[in-house]
Structure 1
Amino acid sequence: MTEQLEIVLPPDGSGPGVLVIHPWWGCNQTVLDFGRRLAERGFVVGLADAFEGNVATERDTAQGLLERYWQSAPALLADNVRTLAAHAAVTGGVSGLGFSFGGFQLLQLQEELPLRRVVTYYADREVRLKVPVLGHFAETDPFADDQDGMIRKLEAAGAPSTAIVYPHTTHWFAEADRPEYDAAAAEAAFERSVAFLRAD
């Protein structure tokens, strides 16, 4: 698979790097808009595309993309981290932010690569935490395998790792194109993410 990584620069032209990894829908317009908004806050954003430009709007299609690219995604995303870290505009290292599938992948990558920090949206995985992690979780999430276990892991790790559960939300609450979108929760999560990614 050929690496595809769109890089969005902040207004000042340089800053900390953040690799944004999409959910199982692919790198759709919602993810692109999110990444560009993050860049406006001072980050050099790499927009990962593990699905080679393919996007889905229905669950069956998304599941098909997930299965098609499941084996190739980890190596590609690791290359994305290295590419972003080597970019001339990046100062102060690279962090990661991922939605669902993307968060799941980042929880593995943080064990293997020198990421600064990781932000996950509705993601859980059995891993050793090697970097600070901010986990955003829905109150009700039928897609989570062990959300409670992940929350306990983050709580046990202690600050700066943090778990936030957003009341009255479900999976995809932070994605503006989904019917599950909760604007207030999404905005709160975004601001917390920015503050977390800026911290030393």
Structure 2
Amino acid sequence: MYARRDIMKGAATLPLAAILADPLLASAAAAELEDVTLKLDHGKPITASVIFPEKTPAPAVVLVHEWWGLNDQIKAVAADFAREGYAAVAVDLYGGNVGKTPDEAQRYMKAVNPVEATETLQKWIAWARDNDKTTEKLGTIGWCFGGGWSLNASLAAPVDATVIYYGNVAKKADELKALTGPVMGHFADKDKWINKAMVDGFIEQMKLAGQPAPEVFWYSADHAFANPTGARYDQEDAQTAWKRSQKFFADSLMG
């Protein structure tokens, strides 16, 4: 039986989608991360899975998981960020729970306390910024449930670049004035939840807030099109969105 290190060595040249679609490869990539625990102000422990690149100090990226929870897939994305030269912090907003079915995922999502989730993200952003292995640059990225929380994080703490994958962007101009960096959004034209009306409203509210126009991209796909383990996965659109996100972070955080 191959060691996980050997598995990842052999997978080093594979595209991210191939790793995410294979449970064994995703698990091996996830094993590269280390769990770190902090505490909220009232003492509740919070955990994130963290990985640093070979060369430090490096810019940091805070990842917020889908409604499934912090699973191997999201950790594997964090590992890919490290290979691209970023310190990656995959935050857990479900207290260690991972949904195995849509019903479980929905239950965990509804149980999230918005106040605690906001403080959790603030704590991890501060931790990442203060780490001696990071530079002063930091971005956030999230998918679905995490897409909305990627934006929320950037409203609650200084963030240099925000990436949103089909997340809730229903915000008012007064809220959006808190943004300190550019925003990129990936949305699906068949998405019934995060639809064009919501995104158009977000663009208008950004304008009213005096913020730079977000980079918004539409794909001929459905919600969760970037998840290779889901039925709505669209390989071409997922790869295009990922390349755009990587360039956006490189331009915003690496310079």
Q: Same fold (TM over 0.5)?
A: yes
Aligned residue pairs, count: 198
Taking structure 1 as the reference length, the TM-score comes to 0.90
Measure how far apart 1:93 and its partner are: 2.0
**Partner in structure 2 of residue 118 of structure 1:** 162
The one-letter code of the counterpart of 1:111 is L
Measure how far apart 1:49 and its partner are: 0.6
For 1:26, what is the secondary structure of its paired residue? coil
- Measured in 2, the distance between the counterparts of 1:180 and 1:151 equals 26
**Partner in structure 1 of residue 32 of structure 2:** none
**Partner in structure 1 of residue 16 of structure 2:** none
- Measured in 1, the distance between the counterparts of 2:105 and 2:92 equals 14
For 2:46, what is the secondary structure of its paired residue? coil
Which has more helix, going by share of residues? Answer: 2
- Measured in 1, the distance between the counterparts of 2:242 and 2:224 equals 14
The one-letter code of the counterpart of 1:97 is I
**Partner in structure 2 of residue 63 of structure 1:** 106
2:126 to 68, 78, 82: 82
The one-letter code of the counterpart of 1:142 is K
When structure 1 is superposed on structure 2, of 114-123 and 94-103 the one drifting more is 94-103
Contact 2:51–2:82 (8 Å) recurs in 1: yes
In structure 2, do the counterparts of structure 1 residues 188 and 11 end up closer, same or farther at CA, with 3 Å as the change threshold? farther
Q: Which has the higher contact order (CA 8 A, sep 6+)?
A: 1
Larger Rg: 2
| Runs (5+) with no aligned partner, structure 2 | 1-43
Measure how far apart 1:151 and its partner are: 4.6
Work out the percentage of aligned pairs sharing the same amino acid. Answer: 26
Contact 1:155–1:163 (8 Å) recurs in 2: no
Taking structure 2 as the reference length, the TM-score comes to 0.72
When structure 1 is superposed on structure 2, of 110-119 and 66-75 the one drifting more is 66-75
Q: CA RMSD in A?
A: 1.9
- Measured in 2, the distance between the counterparts of 1:84 and 1:14 equals 11
Give the 4+ runs in structure 1 shifted more than 4 A.
Answer: 151-159
